[in-house]
Structure 1
């Protein structure tokens, strides 16, 4: 038993040498959702606190991301979040994709699938009240309709 614990401890120490890359991609405000859509500050604040860590190039890595294997999980989650929707590069999406992503975002927020409960446990400021959820859903749908009307989608 003692040998197994020593092996596990050595393995745990060794994996600490394999840190994740915490460098965020360069940001261009001209492509950022909040900037290009002139998002009202109260809504922008909600989006920044509840969405941007995983769905933008403005990730603030938590202290536990320096401990492996947690860091690997965090990095995988961020990479997946950015792949699904990246608010920092929103302007690069075709209008049809923009509208679709906002439709999905509204549904996920409304159905309480976002932000993830596992995320809000470590980031209590990201937890949304029912009123904040409603505000986000309404805003995402409003912008979605504006995009669709402007591009006759």
Structure 2
């Protein structure tokens, strides 16, 4: 039995073309910032907000800035899976819906991941160079998050004592 590579390549190309018609809904909030958004839940300084927006929001919010190659399948499926996984772990757009305890835990986890250089992911920063956290960015984020986390802890302590 002879394998016809030309037919296999043609079939593969046709399948690839047909895949391009599958374009699921995008993770876009069109600039809406609801009262449960992280920046509405806390008084976030502009420098912290900018760092989060540049390095975190594409995967951890309801507002992703999609690159041009996101229109190509199966790349889009990979991106959507990555975004959904990121939002499942932490979603800045819905941060206010978390309990105070969960908010404190999420803030603690953010600090741990930044210190361990696990976030943003290397696969993301390879393409998005502006998302790489500089030492100064890390310091600003960690300091602000630790102060905020400590204020949550003290508020929870005061509530328990009363």
TM-score, length basis structure 1: 0.92
1:71-92 per-residue CA deviation (whole Å, 9 max, x = no partner) reads 0111111111111111111111
Please list, as runs of the form range in 1=range in 2, the aligned pairs for 1:113-128 lying within 5 A after superposition: 113-128=118-133
CA contact (8 A) 1:107 1:137 kept: no
Q: Figure out how many residues of one structure are paired with residues of the other and give that number.
A: 153
Q: 1:50–1:125: 8 Å Cα contact kept in structure 2?
A: yes
2:136 corresponds to: 131
Partner of 2:90: 85
Q: Which residue of 2 aligns with 1:13?
A: 17
Question: What stretches of structure 1 of length at least 5 have no aligned partner?
Answer: none
1:41 aligns with 2:46: yes
Taking structure 2 as the reference length, the TM-score comes to: 0.87
Aligned 8 A contact 1:49 1:126 in 2: yes
Structure index of larger Rg: 2
Secondary structure of the structure 1 residue equivalent to 2:35? helix
Aligned match for 2:149, one of 137, 141, 144: 144
1:41-60 equivalent positions in 2, closer than 5 A: 41-60=46-65
Distance 2:39 2:153 in 1: 18
Cα deviation for residue 66 of structure 1 reads 0.7
Deviations 1:22-80 (A, max 9, x none): 15358443111123211111111101100111111121111111100110111111111
Give, in whole Å, the separation in 2 of the partners of 1:21 and 1:73: 14
Listed as ranges, the gaps of 5+ residues in structure 2 are: none
Q: CA RMSD in A?
A: 1.6
C-alpha distance in 1 between matches for 2:65 and 2:54:
10
